[in-house]
Structure 1
Amino acid sequence: MKKKNPSFLEMYSKLINVSSISSENPVFDQSNKKIIELLAEWLENIGFKINIQKIQKNKKKFNLIAKIGSGEGGLLLSGHSDTVNYNEKLWKSNPFELTIVNNKFYGLGAVDMKGFFACILDLMTKIEIKKIKKPIYLLVTADEETSMLGVKFFLKFSTISPDLIIVGEPTNLVPIVGHKGNITKKIITLGNSGHSSDSEKINSINLMHETIFYLLKIKKKIKDFVFQKKFKVPYSTMNFGYIKGGHSSNTICEFCELHIDIRLLPKFPYKIFNEIFNEYLLPIKKKWGGYIKIHNLHPPIPSYEISIKHEKIIKTIEKITKEKKTVVNYCSEASYLHKIAPTILLGPGSIKQAHQPNEFLELSYVKKTKKIIKKIIEFICFL
């Protein structure tokens, strides 16, 4: 006899209780094993067949692929198990306790994207399994917030070809059919340590200042390169997100580090960006040589745009959600998943709450999410 799953609220609470931070900094990076095991147990109780992938590149990280039903095609519901890091001082409540205030669920990952999993699991206990004519899959990935390692590992070995993929990112339950790509780079400038009175020595902060001058030229170039009016920010962007260097005012800085984030429109080829980036930085590289080092923080994430040939299924999702399709500035695993099936981002809550202190999901989204996903399941898997 199968074990009965906890209630929606209990499952949601337990998911929030489990910390599953992924970070480029190994000090903060964590395994997602516990959250994968929790989801696997609950899905198995419902009747799903479970496959847990151990990602060899990082033995602490796992994917979960669950399946119920048989046959070809079907629906793949997808999401990531990891969250970003947090600053406890900025939280009004414990990030790892589900707190309900004014009809809002607070907790780290509440909207991005543990709330989606809680909704799906609760919904699946109410689905009439006997009516399923095509399979329902649930994919839970690792490291979406950093390297996209999990989804890339999944695709390396996947043999499934669903009719539709829904990625449950927080979209206010509006269907998202395109987004920008992402490139993150680390720029390091080196100098000669010494006393501040020695003006002959190279100061890495001065060198970074000179480098930023050229980066700002690149920023303007990519902004003016191409426009797509359907995006809220209709051009490609560059953001200076992190800088660190130096020890004291009376010491010449020997090391400075800058992290930049680039968001390219779908119509901006990565190859062209690379050519612009290298061309504009060539003068300073020639001048300073080994004093400047540039690395990708993680492999570039491609932009995504659903093919026009899937217009029929998009229209159906618009009808179900009662919302018009749109595009967004952030990126997601749709960049990779669309290679095996038409992919739409659609999930509860607002992206404005993601990666923020006091992250929350509004209670009103729970019922709506289950209702919409149920209709999509019926459309794809019951017919």
Structure 2
Amino acid sequence: MASTAVPNLKEQLRQLVGTPSISATDPALDMGNRPVVELLATWLEALNFKVELLPLKGNPLKANMIATLGGSSDGNGGLILSGHTDTVPYDEGRWQSDPFKLIERDNRLYGLGSSDMKGFFPLAIEAAKSFLNKPLRQPLTILATADEETSMAGAQALVEAGKPHGRFAIVGEPTGLRPIRMHKGIMMEAVRITGQSGHSSNPSLGANALEAMHSVIGELMSLRAEWQQKYNNPGFAVPVPTLNLGYIHGGDNPNRICGSTELQFDVRPLPGMHLTDLRAELQKRLASCIDNDRIRLEVISLFPGAQPFEQEQNSELVQTAEKLCGHTAGSVAFATEAPYLKSMGIDTIVLGPGDIDVAHQPDEYLGLERINPMVDILRKLIARFCL
């Protein structure tokens, strides 16, 4: 066994944090994750995992990695330990230390991605090491994805490829060692209105895009109220779907009729609400609130969106995780790759050692006290679903 070629847990995390893999909507900040998955592949191949790298179409610098140990590949069983390898950008000057250098202080490991969620991979590998010399009846898979923080393109590519195979999956997002079986989805949309500019002394000379946007905002707020009346899930801290008006810009001068304006907003739907249906309703309702033929309205999706997620309470995976963690499976408001795995018939929960409160923040860290309990939970899950 070539396990001596694999660094210890902290050294793995040091190398992962030290390998930048920022994904961002700004092309100037966006970079590939290929060096990270290649690093993971090197370690896992040394542990006798069968490793497959799957570059994303049109972007060879970004790739998913599927590493499998033992069992069969018929897709009828096994456990997947899944995480994304990209991070968000960081606030330069607001970190107390270099975000790409793992620093240990105050019983914490500081570094970009330590909590969300590069820190999950060394723990998964540490748990897997306990089973290298044991015959696994069902396969153990470690899955590493690309572009979760922006487009979910990595997860979507896996769905299109029908990979990986497995019966159960853990998505190691930061949940503070508490199992999560539900989360809201997210969609980000833009409304762009083009009118006709003109001298403000005579409104008939133009068509005011800002005034049309006033009608659009009123319609969005009415639609939000209707959705919140129709959909309610007490399992969430905010039990209704939300719609946030996040950005608006239009016009160029107070003495000109506004010729164009744009509004950007997000919707966080509950399980049972489907993005395709919501977008169709948005298109229909917003188009109907404009009755001026000199006004042109477009509704544009800023990214494909992430579906809401729900794993049934009676799932064997949920009940096993609840016993191991000592907590009832709950919900979170943030989105993950869990619905993509669930769409492939894989029972899935979200469970990881980090804290969402420090994710996407300066001085992101993983608490040392979380490491051994998470490794222990993963070992017991592997034993339950792979041996």
Determine the structure 2 residue equivalent to 1:120: 124
C-alpha distance in 2 between matches for 1:203 and 1:188: 13
Matched, 1:327 2:348: no
Amino acid at match of 1:118: P
Matched, 1:371 2:338: no
C-alpha distance in 2 between matches for 1:122 and 1:197: 72
What does the per-residue CA deviation read over 1:107-126, in whole Å, with 9 as the maximum and x for residues that have no partner? 22111101101212233334
Matched, 1:219 2:224: yes
- Of residues 270-279 and 349-358 in structure 1, the stretch that sits farther from structure 2 once superposed is 270-279
Inter-CA distance 358–249: structure 2 relative to 1 (3 Å threshold): farther
Determine the structure 2 residue equivalent to 1:298: 303
C-alpha distance in 1 between matches for 2:246 and 2:97: 27
Inter-CA distance 262–350: structure 2 relative to 1 (3 Å threshold): same
Matched, 1:135 2:135: no
Amino acid at match of 1:307: E
What does the per-residue CA deviation read over 1:204-238, in whole Å, with 9 as the maximum and x for residues that have no partner? 44544443232222222222221111111100001
* Aligned 8 A contact 1:161 1:340 in 2: no
C-alpha distance in 2 between matches for 1:232 and 1:363: 28
What does the per-residue CA deviation read over 1:253-296, in whole Å, with 9 as the maximum and x for residues that have no partner? 55433321101111334455345423431333433665322111
Tell me by how many angstroms 1:353 deviates.
1.9
- Give the superposed CA RMSD: 2.5
C-alpha distance in 1 between matches for 2:198 and 2:99: 44
* Aligned 8 A contact 1:75 1:163 in 2: yes
Percent identity, aligned pairs only, is 36
Amino acid at match of 1:40: A
C-alpha distance in 2 between matches for 1:97 and 1:205: 48
- Of residues 325-334 and 269-278 in structure 1, the stretch that sits farther from structure 2 once superposed is 269-278
Matched, 1:261 2:266: yes
Inter-CA distance 31–318: structure 2 relative to 1 (3 Å threshold): same
Determine the structure 2 residue equivalent to 1:231: 236
Inter-CA distance 115–213: structure 2 relative to 1 (3 Å threshold): same
TM-score by length of 1: 0.90
C-alpha distance in 1 between matches for 2:280 and 2:64: 35
Amino acid at match of 1:88: E
Inter-CA distance 160–11: structure 2 relative to 1 (3 Å threshold): closer
Inter-CA distance 296–159: structure 2 relative to 1 (3 Å threshold): closer
Aligned to 1:61, the other structure's residue is in SS state strand
* Aligned 8 A contact 2:99 2:110 in 1: yes
What does the per-residue CA deviation read over 1:82-132, in whole Å, with 9 as the maximum and x for residues that have no partner? 112232243333222222332222222111101101212233334443243
Aligned to 1:232, the other structure's residue is in SS state coil
Task: Write the mapping of 1:327-346 to structure 2, written as runs, cut at 5 A.
Answer: 327-338=331-342, 339-346=344-351
More helix by share: 1
Determine the structure 2 residue equivalent to 1:6: 7
Inter-CA distance 278–42: structure 2 relative to 1 (3 Å threshold): same
Aligned to 1:60, the other structure's residue is in SS state strand
Inter-CA distance 253–227: structure 2 relative to 1 (3 Å threshold): same
Inter-CA distance 203–289: structure 2 relative to 1 (3 Å threshold): closer
Determine the structure 2 residue equivalent to 1:48: 49
- Of residues 103-112 and 241-250 in structure 1, the stretch that sits farther from structure 2 once superposed is 241-250
Matched, 1:19 2:43: no
Inter-CA distance 160–359: structure 2 relative to 1 (3 Å threshold): closer
Tell me by how many angstroms 1:55 deviates.
1.3
Aligned to 2:61, the other structure's residue is in SS state coil
C-alpha distance in 2 between matches for 1:185 and 1:235: 19
Aligned to 1:317, the other structure's residue is in SS state helix
Tell me by how many angstroms 1:174 deviates.
1.0
Amino acid at match of 1:146: T
Determine the structure 2 residue equivalent to 1:158: 162
Point out where structure 2 has 5 or more consecutive residues left out of the alignment.
none
TM-score by length of 2: 0.89
* Aligned 8 A contact 1:218 1:276 in 2: no
Amino acid at match of 2:340: Y
- Of residues 322-331 and 300-309 in structure 1, the stretch that sits farther from structure 2 once superposed is 300-309
- Of residues 200-209 and 168-177 in structure 1, the stretch that sits farther from structure 2 once superposed is 200-209
* Aligned 8 A contact 2:151 2:303 in 1: yes
Aligned to 1:156, the other structure's residue is in SS state helix
Determine which of 101, 109, 113 is the counterpart of 1:105. 109
Amino acid at match of 1:44: E
Matched, 1:178 2:185: no
C-alpha distance in 2 between matches for 1:377 and 1:356: 32
Aligned to 2:98, the other structure's residue is in SS state coil
Amino acid at match of 1:381: C
What does the per-residue CA deviation read over 1:143-171, in whole Å, with 9 as the maximum and x for residues that have no partner? 11222111121122235542311111111
* Aligned 8 A contact 1:111 1:350 in 2: yes
Q: How many residues align?
A: 381
Task: Write the mapping of 1:57-96 to structure 2, written as runs, cut at 5 A.
Answer: 57-71=58-72, 73-96=77-100
C-alpha distance in 1 between matches for 2:36 and 2:93: 25
Determine the structure 2 residue equivalent to 1:280: 285
Aligned to 2:291, the other structure's residue is in SS state helix
Point out where structure 1 has 5 or more consecutive residues left out of the alignment.
none
C-alpha distance in 1 between matches for 2:218 and 2:198: 25
Tell me by how many angstroms 1:197 deviates.
7.1
Inter-CA distance 205–377: structure 2 relative to 1 (3 Å threshold): same
C-alpha distance in 1 between matches for 2:294 and 2:198: 21
